[in-house]
Structure 1
Amino acid sequence: MAFYLGNHGNIRLRRGNPIEIGTFKALISPDDINTALNRLGVENAVDNLVTGDRIVFSTTDNRRLDFIPDTNFGDPEFIQTQGADQLVTQSGDSFFSNGLTTDDFTAFVNVNAVGGLRLFPTFADAINNDRSNEITLDPFTNEPIEVHLDVRDTQYNVLGNVSGYEFNTSRDAIDVTALSDKYKQQYDAGLLSGSGRIECSFDYTTTDTKEAPIIMLQTIQRLDVGCGFDLALYLTDQEIIPDVANVFYLTTAVTTSTGISVDAGGVVSCTIDFVTTGEIRLIIGRPDAYILKEDADRIQIEQSLDFLLQEVTD
Protein backbone atom coordinates (compact mmCIF):
# COMPACT_ATOMS: atom_id res chain seq x y z
CA MET A 1 0.00 0.00 0.00
CA ALA A 2 1.30 3.45 -0.93
CA PHE A 3 0.91 6.50 1.26
CA TYR A 4 0.88 10.04 -0.12
CA LEU A 5 1.83 13.23 1.65
CA GLY A 6 -0.57 16.16 1.51
CA ASN A 7 2.02 18.44 -0.08
CA HIS A 8 1.84 16.35 -3.26
CA GLY A 9 -1.41 18.01 -4.31
CA ASN A 10 -2.55 21.48 -5.29
CA ILE A 11 -5.56 23.55 -6.31
CA ARG A 12 -6.26 24.91 -9.77
CA LEU A 13 -8.90 27.52 -10.55
CA ARG A 14 -10.59 28.62 -13.74
CA ARG A 15 -12.41 31.91 -13.50
CA GLY A 16 -15.79 32.43 -15.06
CA ASN A 17 -19.52 32.09 -14.51
CA PRO A 18 -22.51 30.56 -16.28
CA ILE A 19 -23.41 32.68 -19.28
CA GLU A 20 -26.82 33.55 -17.87
CA ILE A 21 -25.33 35.31 -14.83
CA GLY A 22 -21.76 36.12 -15.84
CA THR A 23 -22.65 39.21 -17.87
CA PHE A 24 -23.11 42.90 -17.21
CA LYS A 25 -23.69 45.93 -19.43
CA ALA A 26 -21.83 49.22 -19.71
CA LEU A 27 -21.99 52.32 -21.88
CA ILE A 28 -18.63 53.21 -23.44
CA SER A 29 -18.44 56.90 -24.35
CA PRO A 30 -15.67 58.73 -26.25
CA ASP A 31 -14.45 60.20 -22.94
CA ASP A 32 -13.90 56.68 -21.56
CA ILE A 33 -11.05 56.04 -24.00
CA ASN A 34 -7.56 57.11 -22.92
CA THR A 35 -5.30 56.41 -25.89
CA ALA A 36 -2.17 57.69 -24.11
CA LEU A 37 -2.46 55.07 -21.36
CA ASN A 38 -4.51 52.60 -23.42
CA ARG A 39 -7.10 52.49 -20.65
CA LEU A 40 -10.81 51.87 -21.15
CA GLY A 41 -13.18 53.25 -18.53
CA VAL A 42 -16.03 50.83 -17.76
CA GLU A 43 -18.83 51.51 -15.31
CA ASN A 44 -19.02 48.96 -12.46
CA ALA A 45 -15.70 47.39 -13.48
CA VAL A 46 -14.34 47.80 -9.93
CA ASP A 47 -17.28 45.78 -8.55
CA ASN A 48 -17.15 42.97 -11.10
CA LEU A 49 -13.76 42.57 -12.78
CA VAL A 50 -10.41 41.40 -11.45
CA THR A 51 -7.00 41.68 -13.09
CA GLY A 52 -6.46 38.55 -15.16
CA ASP A 53 -10.10 38.06 -16.11
CA ARG A 54 -10.73 37.02 -19.70
CA ILE A 55 -13.53 39.25 -20.99
CA VAL A 56 -15.66 38.93 -24.12
CA PHE A 57 -16.84 42.35 -25.27
CA SER A 58 -19.91 42.31 -27.52
CA THR A 59 -22.41 44.83 -28.86
CA THR A 60 -25.46 45.14 -31.09
CA ASP A 61 -24.62 48.73 -32.02
CA ASN A 62 -24.30 49.39 -35.77
CA ARG A 63 -20.92 51.01 -35.17
CA ARG A 64 -19.70 47.77 -33.61
CA LEU A 65 -16.74 47.92 -31.21
CA ASP A 66 -15.43 51.14 -32.68
CA PHE A 67 -12.76 51.59 -30.01
CA ILE A 68 -11.00 48.31 -30.93
CA PRO A 69 -8.77 48.59 -34.05
CA ASP A 70 -9.76 46.16 -36.80
CA THR A 71 -6.24 44.75 -36.83
CA ASN A 72 -6.95 43.02 -33.52
CA PHE A 73 -9.62 40.77 -35.02
CA GLY A 74 -7.37 38.75 -37.31
CA ASP A 75 -4.26 38.84 -39.48
CA PRO A 76 -3.35 42.57 -39.71
CA GLU A 77 -1.73 42.28 -43.15
CA PHE A 78 -4.68 40.37 -44.59
CA ILE A 79 -7.20 42.83 -43.22
CA GLN A 80 -5.15 45.80 -44.39
CA THR A 81 -4.98 44.31 -47.90
CA GLN A 82 -8.57 43.12 -48.20
CA GLY A 83 -10.32 45.66 -46.03
CA ALA A 84 -12.34 44.72 -42.96
CA ASP A 85 -15.67 45.20 -44.74
CA GLN A 86 -14.69 42.71 -47.45
CA LEU A 87 -14.27 39.84 -45.01
CA VAL A 88 -17.79 38.41 -44.99
CA THR A 89 -19.36 35.01 -44.63
CA GLN A 90 -22.21 33.62 -46.69
CA SER A 91 -24.64 34.97 -44.10
CA GLY A 92 -23.25 38.48 -44.61
CA ASP A 93 -21.58 38.79 -41.21
CA SER A 94 -18.05 40.10 -40.91
CA PHE A 95 -15.62 37.28 -40.20
CA PHE A 96 -12.05 37.18 -38.96
CA SER A 97 -9.47 34.45 -38.52
CA ASN A 98 -10.00 34.12 -34.76
CA GLY A 99 -13.68 33.30 -35.19
CA LEU A 100 -14.90 36.64 -33.83
CA THR A 101 -16.61 39.45 -35.67
CA THR A 102 -16.22 43.16 -35.05
CA ASP A 103 -19.37 42.84 -32.93
CA ASP A 104 -17.39 40.92 -30.29
CA PHE A 105 -13.85 40.79 -29.02
CA THR A 106 -11.99 38.87 -26.31
CA ALA A 107 -9.01 39.91 -24.20
CA PHE A 108 -7.50 39.58 -20.73
CA VAL A 109 -7.82 42.72 -18.61
CA ASN A 110 -5.64 44.59 -16.15
CA VAL A 111 -7.87 46.61 -13.81
CA ASN A 112 -6.60 49.70 -12.00
CA ALA A 113 -7.94 51.20 -8.75
CA VAL A 114 -10.71 53.18 -10.46
CA GLY A 115 -11.89 50.47 -12.83
CA GLY A 116 -9.86 51.41 -15.90
CA LEU A 117 -9.19 48.42 -18.15
CA ARG A 118 -6.03 47.75 -20.13
CA LEU A 119 -6.39 44.88 -22.61
CA PHE A 120 -3.86 42.11 -23.26
CA PRO A 121 -3.76 38.97 -25.42
CA THR A 122 -2.60 36.61 -22.60
CA PHE A 123 -3.19 36.06 -18.88
CA ALA A 124 0.49 36.52 -18.01
CA ASP A 125 0.66 39.87 -19.84
CA ALA A 126 -2.44 41.10 -18.02
CA ILE A 127 -1.39 40.23 -14.47
CA ASN A 128 2.12 41.57 -15.05
CA ASN A 129 0.79 44.68 -16.84
CA ASP A 130 3.31 44.13 -19.65
CA ARG A 131 2.72 47.26 -21.72
CA SER A 132 4.92 46.01 -24.54
CA ASN A 133 2.12 43.56 -25.41
CA GLU A 134 -0.92 45.71 -24.67
CA ILE A 135 -3.78 46.01 -27.16
CA THR A 136 -4.11 49.57 -28.46
CA LEU A 137 -7.40 51.46 -28.36
CA ASP A 138 -8.89 53.81 -30.94
CA PRO A 139 -10.80 57.02 -30.15
CA PHE A 140 -14.31 57.38 -31.54
CA THR A 141 -16.97 60.10 -31.70
CA ASN A 142 -20.73 60.53 -31.37
CA GLU A 143 -22.98 58.65 -28.95
CA PRO A 144 -21.85 56.04 -26.38
CA ILE A 145 -21.76 52.37 -27.40
CA GLU A 146 -23.63 49.85 -25.24
CA VAL A 147 -21.32 46.91 -24.57
CA HIS A 148 -21.96 43.53 -22.95
CA LEU A 149 -19.06 42.15 -20.89
CA ASP A 150 -18.89 38.39 -20.24
CA VAL A 151 -16.37 36.92 -17.79
CA ARG A 152 -14.92 33.81 -19.43
CA ASP A 153 -11.71 31.81 -19.04
CA THR A 154 -9.89 29.21 -21.08
CA GLN A 155 -7.47 27.57 -18.68
CA TYR A 156 -6.84 26.50 -15.10
CA ASN A 157 -4.19 28.33 -13.07
CA VAL A 158 -2.57 27.07 -9.86
CA LEU A 159 -3.67 28.84 -6.68
CA GLY A 160 -0.53 29.91 -4.82
CA ASN A 161 0.39 29.73 -1.12
CA VAL A 162 -2.21 27.08 -0.25
CA SER A 163 -1.43 25.37 3.07
CA GLY A 164 -4.33 22.93 2.94
CA TYR A 165 -7.87 22.27 1.78
CA GLU A 166 -10.85 20.18 2.83
CA PHE A 167 -13.53 18.85 0.48
CA ASN A 168 -16.66 16.95 1.52
CA THR A 169 -19.34 15.33 -0.62
CA SER A 170 -22.73 14.17 0.58
CA ARG A 171 -25.77 12.51 -0.93
CA ASP A 172 -29.31 13.19 0.22
CA ALA A 173 -31.18 10.09 1.36
CA ILE A 174 -34.77 10.16 0.16
CA ASP A 175 -37.28 8.92 2.74
CA VAL A 176 -39.60 6.37 1.08
CA THR A 177 -41.22 5.07 4.27
CA ALA A 178 -44.90 4.26 3.84
CA LEU A 179 -47.50 4.77 6.58
CA SER A 180 -47.80 1.06 7.27
CA ASP A 181 -44.05 0.40 7.44
CA LYS A 182 -42.53 -0.41 10.80
CA TYR A 183 -38.97 0.44 9.73
CA LYS A 184 -37.67 3.59 8.08
CA GLN A 185 -36.62 3.14 4.47
CA GLN A 186 -34.26 5.29 2.43
CA TYR A 187 -33.79 5.52 -1.33
CA ASP A 188 -30.15 5.97 -2.33
CA ALA A 189 -30.56 8.05 -5.52
CA GLY A 190 -30.69 11.41 -3.78
CA LEU A 191 -28.95 14.58 -4.90
CA LEU A 192 -25.18 14.81 -4.57
CA SER A 193 -23.63 17.99 -3.18
CA GLY A 194 -20.22 19.16 -2.08
CA SER A 195 -18.62 21.77 0.12
CA GLY A 196 -15.16 22.61 1.31
CA ARG A 197 -12.65 25.03 2.74
CA ILE A 198 -9.34 26.34 1.42
CA GLU A 199 -6.64 27.63 3.78
CA CYS A 200 -3.80 29.73 2.43
CA SER A 201 -1.31 32.45 3.31
CA PHE A 202 -2.41 35.87 2.17
CA ASP A 203 -0.71 37.28 -0.92
CA TYR A 204 -1.87 40.00 -3.31
CA THR A 205 0.95 39.75 -5.86
CA THR A 206 0.67 37.59 -8.96
CA THR A 207 3.56 36.50 -11.14
CA ASP A 208 3.89 34.18 -14.12
CA THR A 209 0.62 32.23 -14.37
CA LYS A 210 -0.16 31.50 -10.72
CA GLU A 211 -3.26 32.90 -9.07
CA ALA A 212 -2.69 34.94 -5.90
CA PRO A 213 -4.93 34.02 -2.92
CA ILE A 214 -6.46 37.51 -3.04
CA ILE A 215 -8.45 36.36 -6.08
CA MET A 216 -10.67 34.31 -3.75
CA LEU A 217 -11.37 37.37 -1.61
CA GLN A 218 -12.15 39.40 -4.72
CA THR A 219 -14.37 36.76 -6.30
CA ILE A 220 -16.96 36.89 -3.52
CA GLN A 221 -17.34 40.65 -4.11
CA ARG A 222 -18.40 40.42 -7.77
CA LEU A 223 -21.74 42.17 -7.50
CA ASP A 224 -23.31 41.57 -10.90
CA VAL A 225 -21.49 38.62 -12.46
CA GLY A 226 -21.53 36.35 -9.41
CA CYS A 227 -18.78 34.47 -7.57
CA GLY A 228 -18.63 31.24 -9.54
CA PHE A 229 -15.51 29.43 -10.74
CA ASP A 230 -14.36 26.01 -11.93
CA LEU A 231 -12.30 24.11 -9.41
CA ALA A 232 -9.80 21.24 -9.68
CA LEU A 233 -8.70 19.82 -6.32
CA TYR A 234 -5.63 17.65 -6.83
CA LEU A 235 -4.85 14.82 -4.40
CA THR A 236 -1.78 13.86 -6.44
CA ASP A 237 -0.28 15.85 -9.27
CA GLN A 238 1.90 14.30 -11.95
CA GLU A 239 3.80 17.57 -12.33
CA ILE A 240 4.95 17.19 -8.70
CA ILE A 241 5.35 13.40 -8.62
CA PRO A 242 6.12 12.24 -12.19
CA ASP A 243 5.63 8.52 -11.46
CA VAL A 244 2.00 8.80 -10.23
CA ALA A 245 -1.19 9.55 -12.07
CA ASN A 246 -3.24 12.71 -11.60
CA VAL A 247 -6.04 12.19 -9.09
CA PHE A 248 -8.36 15.15 -8.63
CA TYR A 249 -11.91 16.32 -8.06
CA LEU A 250 -13.34 18.47 -10.83
CA THR A 251 -16.40 20.63 -10.19
CA THR A 252 -17.88 24.12 -10.33
CA ALA A 253 -18.32 26.13 -7.16
CA VAL A 254 -19.26 29.45 -5.62
CA THR A 255 -17.59 31.20 -2.71
CA THR A 256 -19.89 31.42 0.31
CA SER A 257 -17.63 33.05 2.90
CA THR A 258 -14.08 34.27 3.38
CA GLY A 259 -12.08 35.07 6.48
CA ILE A 260 -8.78 36.78 7.29
CA SER A 261 -6.58 36.08 10.31
CA VAL A 262 -4.00 38.72 11.29
CA ASP A 263 -1.84 37.86 14.32
CA ALA A 264 1.00 39.96 15.72
CA GLY A 265 4.25 38.32 14.66
CA GLY A 266 2.38 35.71 12.62
CA VAL A 267 1.65 35.11 8.96
CA VAL A 268 -1.52 36.70 7.63
CA SER A 269 -3.74 33.83 6.51
CA CYS A 270 -7.15 33.50 4.90
CA THR A 271 -9.83 30.82 4.68
CA ILE A 272 -12.33 30.41 1.86
CA ASP A 273 -15.52 28.35 2.17
CA PHE A 274 -17.27 27.18 -0.98
CA VAL A 275 -20.14 24.98 -2.12
CA THR A 276 -20.42 23.12 -5.41
CA THR A 277 -22.99 24.17 -7.98
CA GLY A 278 -22.69 21.43 -10.58
CA GLU A 279 -21.39 17.98 -11.38
CA ILE A 280 -18.71 16.52 -9.09
CA ARG A 281 -16.28 14.13 -10.74
CA LEU A 282 -13.36 12.21 -9.23
CA ILE A 283 -10.90 11.81 -12.10
CA ILE A 284 -7.87 9.54 -12.17
CA GLY A 285 -5.07 9.99 -14.68
CA ARG A 286 -6.81 12.32 -17.11
CA PRO A 287 -5.09 15.58 -18.00
CA ASP A 288 -7.39 18.56 -17.74
CA ALA A 289 -5.81 21.36 -19.76
CA TYR A 290 -4.84 19.81 -23.07
CA ILE A 291 -6.09 17.42 -25.74
CA LEU A 292 -4.38 14.05 -26.02
CA LYS A 293 -2.83 13.19 -29.40
CA GLU A 294 -1.07 10.05 -30.56
CA ASP A 295 2.31 11.66 -29.96
CA ALA A 296 3.56 13.23 -26.72
CA ASP A 297 2.95 16.85 -27.71
CA ARG A 298 0.28 19.08 -26.21
CA ILE A 299 -2.03 21.43 -28.04
CA GLN A 300 -1.96 24.84 -26.38
CA ILE A 301 -5.39 26.22 -25.45
CA GLU A 302 -4.88 29.50 -27.31
CA GLN A 303 -3.56 27.68 -30.36
CA SER A 304 -5.86 27.33 -33.37
CA LEU A 305 -7.32 23.86 -33.74
CA ASP A 306 -8.01 24.21 -37.48
CA PHE A 307 -5.28 21.71 -38.30
CA LEU A 308 -7.00 18.86 -36.46
CA LEU A 309 -8.50 16.24 -38.76
CA GLN A 310 -12.28 15.95 -38.59
CA GLU A 311 -14.54 13.05 -39.53
CA VAL A 312 -16.42 13.76 -42.75
CA THR A 313 -18.98 10.97 -42.24
CA ASP A 314 -20.60 9.31 -39.25
Structure 2
Amino acid sequence: MPDLFAGPGGIDLAARQLGIHLTGIERDANAVATRRAAGLPTIHGNVRLHDSRQTSIEDVITAGPPCQTFSIGGTGKGRAVLDLLVATVKTAGADSHVTIPESLDDRTALVLEPLRWILEAAQDRRPYRAVVLEQVPAVLPIWQAYAEVLETLGYNAACGVLHSEEYGVPQTRRRAVLVARLDGPVALPAPTHRRYERGVPQSAGDPSLLSWVSMADALPERGPFTVVSNYGTGGDPKNRGRRASTVPAFTVTGKISRFRLLDPDGHELPRFTHAEAGVLQGFPADYPWSGRDISQQIGNAAPVQLATALLRAATA
Protein backbone atom coordinates (compact mmCIF):
# COMPACT_ATOMS: atom_id res chain seq x y z
CA MET A 1 0.00 0.00 0.00
CA PRO A 2 1.61 3.29 -1.04
CA ASP A 3 2.36 6.22 1.22
CA LEU A 4 3.24 9.03 -1.17
CA PHE A 5 5.71 11.72 -0.05
CA ALA A 6 6.26 9.50 2.96
CA GLY A 7 8.86 11.62 4.75
CA PRO A 8 10.51 10.06 7.80
CA GLY A 9 7.53 7.91 8.59
CA GLY A 10 4.76 9.55 10.64
CA ILE A 11 1.90 7.91 8.73
CA ASP A 12 3.83 4.67 8.27
CA LEU A 13 4.59 4.39 11.98
CA ALA A 14 0.90 4.87 12.77
CA ALA A 15 0.01 2.25 10.16
CA ARG A 16 2.49 -0.24 11.60
CA GLN A 17 0.95 0.21 15.04
CA LEU A 18 -2.47 -0.58 13.51
CA GLY A 19 -1.26 -3.61 11.56
CA ILE A 20 -1.60 -1.82 8.20
CA HIS A 21 1.26 -2.41 5.78
CA LEU A 22 2.44 0.67 3.89
CA THR A 23 5.38 1.17 1.55
CA GLY A 24 6.61 4.74 1.57
CA ILE A 25 7.78 6.48 -1.58
CA GLU A 26 10.16 9.30 -0.71
CA ARG A 27 12.60 11.34 -2.75
CA ASP A 28 14.72 12.86 0.03
CA ALA A 29 17.74 10.69 0.83
CA ASN A 30 17.85 11.91 4.42
CA ALA A 31 14.26 10.92 5.14
CA VAL A 32 14.92 7.60 3.41
CA ALA A 33 17.87 7.00 5.75
CA THR A 34 15.62 7.57 8.76
CA ARG A 35 12.89 5.34 7.38
CA ARG A 36 15.29 2.49 6.69
CA ALA A 37 16.85 2.83 10.14
CA ALA A 38 13.32 2.51 11.54
CA GLY A 39 12.64 -0.61 9.47
CA LEU A 40 9.90 0.99 7.36
CA PRO A 41 9.39 -0.39 3.81
CA THR A 42 10.65 2.30 1.47
CA ILE A 43 11.09 3.09 -2.20
CA HIS A 44 13.66 5.84 -2.76
CA GLY A 45 12.18 7.67 -5.70
CA ASN A 46 10.19 10.58 -7.09
CA VAL A 47 6.44 10.11 -6.74
CA ARG A 48 5.85 12.17 -9.85
CA LEU A 49 8.05 9.87 -11.95
CA HIS A 50 6.86 6.65 -10.36
CA ASP A 51 4.54 4.43 -12.39
CA SER A 52 1.62 3.62 -10.12
CA ARG A 53 0.85 0.58 -12.24
CA GLN A 54 4.14 -1.00 -11.20
CA THR A 55 2.75 -1.51 -7.71
CA SER A 56 0.89 -4.64 -6.72
CA ILE A 57 -2.83 -4.67 -6.00
CA GLU A 58 -3.24 -2.26 -3.13
CA ASP A 59 -5.74 -1.57 -0.37
CA VAL A 60 -4.99 1.87 1.07
CA ILE A 61 -3.29 4.98 -0.30
CA THR A 62 -2.02 7.78 1.93
CA ALA A 63 -0.25 11.01 1.05
CA GLY A 64 1.05 14.23 2.56
CA PRO A 65 2.29 16.28 -0.42
CA PRO A 66 4.93 18.97 0.16
CA CYS A 67 3.43 22.06 1.78
CA GLN A 68 6.05 24.73 1.12
CA THR A 69 4.07 26.62 -1.54
CA PHE A 70 0.85 26.49 0.50
CA SER A 71 1.99 27.15 4.07
CA ILE A 72 1.90 30.60 5.64
CA GLY A 73 5.67 30.49 6.06
CA GLY A 74 6.25 29.33 2.50
CA THR A 75 6.39 30.96 -0.92
CA GLY A 76 2.63 31.43 -1.37
CA LYS A 77 2.69 30.16 -4.96
CA GLY A 78 0.25 27.37 -4.18
CA ARG A 79 -2.18 29.64 -2.36
CA ALA A 80 -2.16 31.98 -5.33
CA VAL A 81 -3.38 29.28 -7.74
CA LEU A 82 -5.96 27.46 -5.59
CA ASP A 83 -8.74 28.13 -8.10
CA LEU A 84 -6.66 26.64 -10.91
CA LEU A 85 -5.83 23.58 -8.81
CA VAL A 86 -9.48 23.03 -7.88
CA ALA A 87 -10.51 23.33 -11.53
CA THR A 88 -7.76 20.89 -12.54
CA VAL A 89 -8.98 18.32 -10.00
CA LYS A 90 -12.57 18.58 -11.25
CA THR A 91 -11.48 18.32 -14.89
CA ALA A 92 -9.36 15.28 -14.05
CA GLY A 93 -12.37 13.65 -12.44
CA ALA A 94 -14.42 14.16 -15.58
CA ASP A 95 -11.61 13.00 -17.89
CA SER A 96 -10.23 10.23 -15.64
CA HIS A 97 -6.82 11.73 -16.30
CA VAL A 98 -4.73 14.40 -14.61
CA THR A 99 -3.31 17.02 -16.96
CA ILE A 100 -0.89 19.36 -15.20
CA PRO A 101 -1.31 23.00 -16.32
CA GLU A 102 1.95 24.35 -17.72
CA SER A 103 1.71 27.40 -15.51
CA LEU A 104 2.05 25.36 -12.30
CA ASP A 105 5.47 25.10 -10.72
CA ASP A 106 6.63 21.53 -10.12
CA ARG A 107 6.34 21.60 -6.33
CA THR A 108 2.82 23.00 -6.29
CA ALA A 109 1.71 20.45 -8.87
CA LEU A 110 2.63 17.60 -6.51
CA VAL A 111 -0.66 18.10 -4.68
CA LEU A 112 -2.30 16.53 -7.75
CA GLU A 113 -0.22 13.33 -7.66
CA PRO A 114 -2.48 11.36 -5.25
CA LEU A 115 -5.37 11.93 -7.66
CA ARG A 116 -3.34 10.46 -10.52
CA TRP A 117 -2.73 7.32 -8.50
CA ILE A 118 -6.38 7.06 -7.46
CA LEU A 119 -7.68 7.50 -11.02
CA GLU A 120 -5.20 5.03 -12.51
CA ALA A 121 -6.12 2.42 -9.90
CA ALA A 122 -9.81 2.90 -10.69
CA GLN A 123 -9.14 2.59 -14.43
CA ASP A 124 -7.32 -0.69 -13.80
CA ARG A 125 -10.27 -1.96 -11.76
CA ARG A 126 -8.16 -2.27 -8.64
CA PRO A 127 -9.40 0.77 -6.72
CA TYR A 128 -7.99 1.57 -3.32
CA ARG A 129 -10.37 0.64 -0.54
CA ALA A 130 -9.40 3.69 1.49
CA VAL A 131 -7.73 7.06 1.01
CA VAL A 132 -6.06 9.29 3.63
CA LEU A 133 -4.63 12.70 2.69
CA GLU A 134 -3.21 15.50 4.87
CA GLN A 135 -1.78 18.95 4.22
CA VAL A 136 -1.75 22.49 5.59
CA PRO A 137 -5.17 24.18 6.03
CA ALA A 138 -4.87 26.23 2.83
CA VAL A 139 -5.23 23.02 0.81
CA LEU A 140 -8.76 22.28 2.08
CA PRO A 141 -10.48 23.54 -1.15
CA ILE A 142 -8.38 21.06 -3.13
CA TRP A 143 -9.33 18.18 -0.83
CA GLN A 144 -12.98 19.24 -1.17
CA ALA A 145 -12.63 18.97 -4.95
CA TYR A 146 -10.97 15.57 -4.47
CA ALA A 147 -13.97 14.48 -2.39
CA GLU A 148 -16.34 15.37 -5.24
CA VAL A 149 -14.29 13.28 -7.67
CA LEU A 150 -14.01 10.37 -5.24
CA GLU A 151 -17.77 10.32 -4.77
CA THR A 152 -18.25 9.90 -8.55
CA LEU A 153 -15.99 6.84 -8.25
CA GLY A 154 -18.19 5.29 -5.57
CA TYR A 155 -16.33 6.45 -2.46
CA ASN A 156 -17.76 7.97 0.66
CA ALA A 157 -15.54 10.92 1.59
CA ALA A 158 -15.13 13.46 4.36
CA CYS A 159 -12.73 16.36 4.69
CA GLY A 160 -12.07 19.27 6.98
CA VAL A 161 -9.46 20.97 9.15
CA LEU A 162 -8.46 19.17 12.34
CA HIS A 163 -6.55 20.38 15.40
CA SER A 164 -3.74 17.95 16.21
CA GLU A 165 -3.86 18.49 19.97
CA GLU A 166 -7.41 17.07 19.91
CA TYR A 167 -5.84 13.69 19.11
CA GLY A 168 -3.12 13.73 21.76
CA VAL A 169 -0.34 15.49 19.85
CA PRO A 170 1.61 17.78 22.25
CA GLN A 171 1.49 20.74 19.86
CA THR A 172 -1.09 22.99 18.23
CA ARG A 173 -1.01 22.08 14.56
CA ARG A 174 -3.95 22.44 12.16
CA ARG A 175 -4.17 20.13 9.17
CA ALA A 176 -6.51 19.88 6.21
CA VAL A 177 -7.40 16.20 5.87
CA LEU A 178 -9.43 13.88 3.68
CA VAL A 179 -10.58 10.36 4.46
CA ALA A 180 -12.48 8.20 1.99
CA ARG A 181 -13.52 4.58 1.68
CA LEU A 182 -15.34 2.36 -0.81
CA ASP A 183 -16.80 -0.21 1.54
CA GLY A 184 -18.89 1.86 3.93
CA PRO A 185 -19.65 5.25 5.43
CA VAL A 186 -16.83 7.43 6.62
CA ALA A 187 -16.46 10.43 8.89
CA LEU A 188 -13.62 12.52 10.23
CA PRO A 189 -12.26 11.03 13.45
CA ALA A 190 -13.90 12.30 16.61
CA PRO A 191 -11.55 14.15 18.98
CA THR A 192 -10.15 12.17 21.88
CA HIS A 193 -8.66 15.21 23.68
CA ARG A 194 -9.81 18.74 24.40
CA ARG A 195 -8.82 21.62 22.18
CA TYR A 196 -6.18 23.96 23.58
CA GLU A 197 -7.37 27.49 24.26
CA ARG A 198 -5.01 30.09 25.59
CA GLY A 199 -5.66 30.81 29.25
CA VAL A 200 -8.02 27.86 29.74
CA PRO A 201 -6.74 25.38 32.35
CA GLN A 202 -5.78 21.89 31.22
CA SER A 203 -8.41 20.44 33.57
CA ALA A 204 -11.26 22.52 32.09
CA GLY A 205 -13.58 21.50 29.29
CA ASP A 206 -15.58 18.48 28.21
CA PRO A 207 -15.11 15.81 30.90
CA SER A 208 -15.74 13.07 28.33
CA LEU A 209 -12.49 14.01 26.57
CA LEU A 210 -8.91 13.66 27.76
CA SER A 211 -6.90 16.77 28.58
CA TRP A 212 -4.67 18.15 25.88
CA VAL A 213 -1.04 17.07 26.22
CA SER A 214 1.49 19.71 27.27
CA MET A 215 5.19 19.88 26.48
CA ALA A 216 5.84 19.09 30.14
CA ASP A 217 3.68 15.97 29.85
CA ALA A 218 5.58 14.84 26.76
CA LEU A 219 9.05 15.82 28.05
CA PRO A 220 8.86 15.42 31.84
CA GLU A 221 12.63 15.11 32.25
CA ARG A 222 13.08 18.69 30.98
CA GLY A 223 11.56 20.37 34.02
CA PRO A 224 9.78 23.75 33.68
CA PHE A 225 10.78 25.96 30.76
CA THR A 226 9.48 28.61 28.41
CA VAL A 227 9.73 28.35 24.62
CA VAL A 228 10.56 31.49 22.66
CA SER A 229 9.39 30.76 19.15
CA ASN A 230 11.14 31.63 15.92
CA TYR A 231 7.71 32.82 14.70
CA GLY A 232 6.52 36.39 14.92
CA THR A 233 3.06 37.15 16.27
CA GLY A 234 0.76 39.65 14.63
CA GLY A 235 2.93 39.48 11.52
CA ASP A 236 5.86 41.10 13.33
CA PRO A 237 8.92 38.80 13.33
CA LYS A 238 10.40 40.87 16.18
CA ASN A 239 7.46 39.93 18.40
CA ARG A 240 8.37 36.36 19.23
CA GLY A 241 5.69 34.13 20.66
CA ARG A 242 6.23 32.52 24.05
CA ARG A 243 4.72 29.43 25.60
CA ALA A 244 5.29 27.81 28.96
CA SER A 245 6.04 24.10 29.07
CA THR A 246 2.66 23.62 30.77
CA VAL A 247 0.86 24.02 27.40
CA PRO A 248 1.25 22.34 23.97
CA ALA A 249 4.12 23.37 21.72
CA PHE A 250 3.83 25.76 18.82
CA THR A 251 3.50 24.02 15.46
CA VAL A 252 6.67 22.01 14.88
CA THR A 253 8.35 23.01 11.62
CA GLY A 254 11.75 22.49 10.10
CA LYS A 255 12.91 25.54 12.05
CA ILE A 256 12.26 24.05 15.48
CA SER A 257 15.99 24.09 16.16
CA ARG A 258 15.66 27.89 16.35
CA PHE A 259 13.29 27.74 19.32
CA ARG A 260 14.98 29.21 22.39
CA LEU A 261 14.32 27.61 25.78
CA LEU A 262 14.50 29.56 29.03
CA ASP A 263 14.41 28.35 32.62
CA PRO A 264 12.06 29.99 35.19
CA ASP A 265 14.74 32.60 35.91
CA GLY A 266 15.11 33.53 32.25
CA HIS A 267 18.43 31.75 31.71
CA GLU A 268 19.12 30.02 28.42
CA LEU A 269 18.66 26.24 28.35
CA PRO A 270 19.87 23.78 25.72
CA ARG A 271 17.55 23.78 22.73
CA PHE A 272 15.34 20.85 21.83
CA THR A 273 17.26 17.77 20.80
CA HIS A 274 16.15 15.88 17.71
CA ALA A 275 14.65 13.22 19.96
CA GLU A 276 12.65 15.83 21.89
CA ALA A 277 11.44 17.56 18.72
CA GLY A 278 10.37 14.16 17.40
CA VAL A 279 8.41 13.47 20.59
CA LEU A 280 6.49 16.71 20.00
CA GLN A 281 5.48 15.22 16.62
CA GLY A 282 4.34 12.01 18.31
CA PHE A 283 7.41 9.89 17.55
CA PRO A 284 8.97 7.70 20.24
CA ALA A 285 11.97 9.18 22.02
CA ASP A 286 14.24 6.48 20.60
CA TYR A 287 13.20 6.94 16.97
CA PRO A 288 16.35 6.49 14.86
CA TRP A 289 16.62 9.88 13.15
CA SER A 290 19.32 9.57 10.49
CA GLY A 291 20.93 11.48 7.65
CA ARG A 292 21.09 15.26 7.56
CA ASP A 293 18.50 18.05 7.95
CA ILE A 294 16.83 16.17 10.78
CA SER A 295 14.96 19.25 12.01
CA GLN A 296 13.45 19.58 8.55
CA GLN A 297 12.54 15.90 8.49
CA ILE A 298 10.74 16.27 11.80
CA GLY A 299 8.92 19.40 10.71
CA ASN A 300 7.76 17.71 7.49
CA ALA A 301 6.41 14.62 9.27
CA ALA A 302 2.76 13.88 9.91
CA PRO A 303 2.04 13.75 13.67
CA VAL A 304 1.77 10.09 14.57
CA GLN A 305 -1.33 10.31 16.78
CA LEU A 306 -3.26 12.29 14.17
CA ALA A 307 -2.23 9.81 11.47
CA THR A 308 -3.46 6.97 13.67
CA ALA A 309 -6.86 8.61 14.05
CA LEU A 310 -7.16 9.20 10.30
CA LEU A 311 -6.20 5.64 9.39
CA ARG A 312 -8.70 4.25 11.89
CA ALA A 313 -11.44 6.45 10.42
CA ALA A 314 -10.69 5.25 6.88
CA THR A 315 -10.16 1.55 7.55
CA ALA A 316 -11.90 0.44 10.76
Larger Rg: 1
Specify which structure has the higher proportion of helix.
2
Specify which structure has the higher proportion of strand.
1
Which has the higher relative contact order, 1 or 2, with Cα contacts under 8 A spaced 6 or more apart? 1
TM over 0.5, shorter chain: no
Please, what TM-score do these two structures have when normalized by structure 2? 0.26
